[in-house]
Structures are given as C-alpha cells and as structure tokens.
Amino acid sequence: MDFELSDEQQQLKSEVQRFAENEIIPVAKEYDREEKYPHDVIDQAAEMGLLAPQIPFDYGGAGYDVLDTAIIVEELFAADPGIGLCLCSTGFGTEAIIEFGTEEQKEEYLEPVARGEAISGAAISEPDTGSDVSSVSTRAEKDGDEWVINGNKMWITNGSIGDFFVVLCKTDPDAEGRYNGFSQIIVESDRDGFTADKITGKMGIRASDTAELILDNVRVPEENLVGTEGMGFLQQMQFFDETRTGVAAQGVGIAKGAAERALDYAQEREQFGRPIGDFQAIQHKLADMHTEAEAARNLTYKSAWSVDHADGQLTKLASMAKEFASRTAVKNANECVQIHGGSGYVDDFDAERFYRDAKITQIYEGTTEIQKMIIARELQGKGF
C-alpha cells in the first residue's frame, strides 16, 4: 500500500495552498461579513484552472479525478470554507452532463464553466423535500417540442448567480416504482418564468450563494433533457458517492484549518508566564485535533480512490468518509474556539467563522443520520 501522493499531486497541493494564502485568506472575512459572492476570486481561480476541475480536457477542463479534486477541495476549505465552496461549486450539476449529456450539451454548457464564464447549479431539494429525493414534486410536462416546468427548489447553491441549472423533475407521475418517472432537465436562468430569491442570514458559508428557485411555466426545448427520460433519479444516485466524498474533503479541510489555527494560537498566547501550548489540557486537544484530521483525510482519500477505481466499496466508504470527516470538522472547529477562549468568540480570528461554517458539512449532500442509515444498510446488504 502506498499512501504517498504523486509528485504531480504534491505540486497541485502546493499550488492550491499558495493561491489560497494569497487570494482567499486576505479577503475571507470581508466576503463572510457582507454575504457577498467573490467574483474577483472566481476570476483568478479560473486562470489557474481550479474551477470545475472534473470537466474533461476535451471541454476545456483540467480533467482531474476524484482524488485530485479532493486534494483541491481540502486546501481551499482549510483557507476558508465559504469562498472554498464558491470555487468548488461553480460546476455543480455538470457531472450529469459529463456522464449523460449529448455532445452538443457538453460543448454548450461545459466549456463556459471551465473557462469561468458561466456558473451552473444542481436543483434537487425542495421546500418539503430534502433527504427523500424521491419525493420531488417539481413537474415537467411535454408541450410539442418543449418542456414546461413548474415547481419550487430550495437551498440551491449558486441559485441567484447561476447561469443554468440541472433540475430534477417528475416527468411521468404515473410511472410504476418509487424511483421511476424522474428526469434531469437543463434550465437556463434567463428563461421566462424563472426567478431566484437569495437566502440570507445563514449561519455559515456566507460567501456562497444560496437561493430558492421558482419555476412558473418555464419553457425549455426538448433537447435540454439530460440522459434518458424517466431515469433521472437513478442517474442522480450515481453521483452521490462522488459528491459525498467531496463533502468529506470539505470536512477534512475545515478540520485541518481549525487544527492549524489552534496550534498557532496555542504557541502565541501566553498565560501564567508561558504559552498555553505548554499546558497538558491544551496539548491533549491539539493532539486529538491533528490525529482525527489525519484519520479523516485517510478515510476520505480511500473513498476518493475507490470512486476513481470502482472497487465495489463505493457507497459504504463514501458515507463513512462523509460522516466521519464532517463530525471531525465540527469537533475541531469547536475545540479551536475553546483554545482561543474569548478571542474565539469574535471575528478578529478565524476560529468563530470555522465554527459556523463547519456545521453545514453534517447537513448537505445527506445528513449525518442519513449517512449512518446508508452505512448500516450497506453492511447488511440492503442498499437504498
């Protein structure tokens, strides 16, 4: 077993670290306070090829695999989870187009995202539908050579700044079987009847744009259908192992960032005439934080490797990685605040922002409770 990153991966890691130190960390507090999308940072990231790294070379992307992408995500989130999510999410929804889209769709939608000229989104969740994806009620009905779409989507990343969205719809309400009759359809945000209402006041990841989408008789051409009509739900399920591994990498990044900031502060802050890092209580916290971050990283990397190599352990490992890494992120962020003491309770330091940002990793892409259900079902051979 070889746990070493390749020379290329080490170089990628170093380049992302430098970018994060120079372009993200200096402005992170500003974008968090103002709940503002970091367009300038996005433009700079596009020049480095950090946007939608999974898009293939043929369509202008970097063509990185899941492990490479996990390395990128970890370093961005270690710098700042809010801006990190903005950079990692510019290509949300493109996975479906890469895997199931037509050649025309790939050329039209993937290339602008890879160049940083367009932002995409995946519109799945609804006001009454979160973990139970099969309860999606947004309808798409055929009218001649067009789809007419009606419904609401909730908690959509990039919702008010996205250029197009891959929308999960019910296209055949009479289909037999709980998971049949759904389709994925591309909806451009400039279509008549499409409106987005930005959600503000979030606990964390405030730089990232989140919105409710309202689709009122939105018409799109029939060629906007992605993949096979009626198979949208099953198509979507194929990406959860990859996307949950991605959230695990986010958790690893937050855990790392919190542990590093706690260590720095413990070595600088003095009480009773010496650094607080000399005290055993603080030493134990630091030891646990760095140990658990390393454990989360190894589990996440193994999950990423498994997705890339399809070794048959995908779903169980992805849910294990997502659950453990997100739990470690929350724990490390909490301990980071504790080590900072009163200074960790105000935004003069990064500790309080990491504390607020960490929690979302236990919620989106399947809650902690859902991950544990999946793990248990996989252990018993029951699947979803």
365 is catalytic: yes
> Whole-angstrom Cα distance, residue 278 to residue 283?
7
Beta strands in the chain (DSSP E): 120-123, 139-143, 146-157, 164-170, 182-188, 194-198, 210-221, 225-226, 270-271, 274-275
- The pair phi, psi for residue 208, each rounded to 5°, is -70, 140
CA-wise closest residue to 363 among 207, 236, 244, 212: 244
Spatial CB neighbours of 18, under 8 Å, sequence gap ≥ 6? none
Query: How many CB atoms neighbour CB 222 within 10 A?
Result: 13
How many residues are recorded in the chain? Answer: 384
Chain position carrying tokens 């051979």: 381
The residue from 35, 292, 335, 365 that is catalytic is 365
- The pair phi, psi for residue 187, each rounded to 5°, is -125, 120
Tell me which residues are annotated as active site. 365
